[in-house]
Chains A and B, each alone.
Chain A
């Protein structure tokens, strides 16, 4: 699949099953068990949400669940940290605006 490292001088990547999920109703491919954010970036999607007041695009920052910069709506649940939440087949992932109450 495009967007994933294949050859690496040191590392070997064990990946899960190839699966399909949805980003803004668009079908995207990814590997099961990867954090949603990793699968989105491999698919070239870097804008994860928009800021509350000025609609500024937002992406991830820490990738380890510490900064809340990557909150998205997953299967209808808002404020999901997609750098930690792992991908499952058929998941519906959406950009959200601001932090939902």
Chain B
């Protein structure tokens, strides 16, 4: 299919190439309310630990590292903290210790309150765009690129939504499912009236349910495999709401002139080939792509960390050990960047990374040791579930 695909859009990285740090301007201080404004020196202050990404993983890492006594800064490209959690209106399940029954958006609130109540520095609306010699990172904020230096970096940049190649996949109306979730749940704007969703993993099941809550019609969920990818509870809910989940089908074309007007789908055979004669169109003005996420690891490539290809963990992932350390001794990772999983595991990994980063800089403390032991134990409980078999298998490949 892909070799014939017409008009597919390929989305690129947002990191500018050959970007250089503007040292001359580095004396100007960034305009933030909570942070760095009190530094009069021409250089940016050195931090013990710089955390890139303020999602659940980065926030937990910051809280733990700060609690243990490190000087911490969080850099995130959004106006607020919480990462993916700020758009998740459904209640999480799992154990009480992992915020079971609490909505993602409320977990984001709890974590960011804790961070803001501490003396952790926060740089909002700031994108880390490069990792340079002498272990300096370049930060882009308000059209200005300036350097930040820390002894240790914890990357918690999360993941980006995968695109899918089919004819006219570049038409406006073909959106990432998480993107529509952001528009709808964070900004209160729904970019369409009737949706077709591609993929039946948890995101492909949860987002359509939230679309229904916002009064949008969902025509169908299309799944190429012969079974639903996500959890049974989510599937049962969406089926009860009357949305069909069409198995063994895929999308072959987005139809429409300026914007999506319909989706052309087809049944697939044993080798996932489209079976001719089975094509049909479904009217819709949005096609939501929910076929998975890929870790955002470009910066780690640039930093010289070893990147492995492990499909079970989400594709290209930075190598890391049980302590979340990469092949570079001043860089740790956690959350979706290390392995596409879920918020509860992201938070646990964040705790480990925060404690281990502190340990590497100072010395092992009783408190830090306890945090790591507990987090590892909880991770192994979560990962022993049959749903996590894939992840456990993938993690086994990290050597």
CB neighbours of B89 from chain A (8 A): 10-11
5 interchain pairs, CB-CB under 8 A: A5-B215, A8-B188, A46-B258, A63-B180, A84-B77
Chain B residues closer than 8 Å to A51, beta-carbon distance: 170
Looking at chain B's contact residues, the main secondary structure is loop
Task: Check B191–A46 contact: CB distance below 8 A.
Answer: yes
User: Are the C-beta atoms of B184 and A5 separated by less than 8 Å?
Assistant: yes
Interface of A is mostly: loop
Cβ-defined contact, B183 with A63, below 8 A = yes
Q: Is the CB of A86 within 8 A of B172?
A: no
Provide the residues of chain A in CB contact with B160, threshold 8 Å.
Answer: 62, 64, 66-67
The minimal Cβ–Cβ distance linking B112 to chain A, given in whole angstroms, is 16
A90, CB-defined interface residue at 8 Å: no
**Across-interface contacts of A13 in B (CB, < 8 A):** 187-188
Cβ–Cβ contact B163 & A65, under 8 A:
no
Determine if B172 and A59 form an interchain contact, defined as CB atoms under 8 angstroms apart.
yes
Which A residues touch B170, using CB under 8 A? 51, 56, 58
Residue of chain A at shortest CB distance from B7: A56
B12 proximity list for chain A (CB < 8 A):
67-68
CA distance A68 to B127 in the complex (A): 14
Chain B residue contacts of A48, Cβ below 8 A: 172
Contacts of A84 in B (CB 8 A): 77
B238 at the interface (CB under 8 A from A): no
Report the Cα distance A70→B99, complex, angstroms: 35
Residues A15 and B172 in contact in the complex (CB < 8 Å), given A8-B213, A67-B14, A86-B79: no
Looking at the assembled complex, report how far the CB atom of B15 sits from the nearest CB atom of chain A, in whole angstroms. Answer: 10
A62 near B179 with CB under 8 A, answer: yes
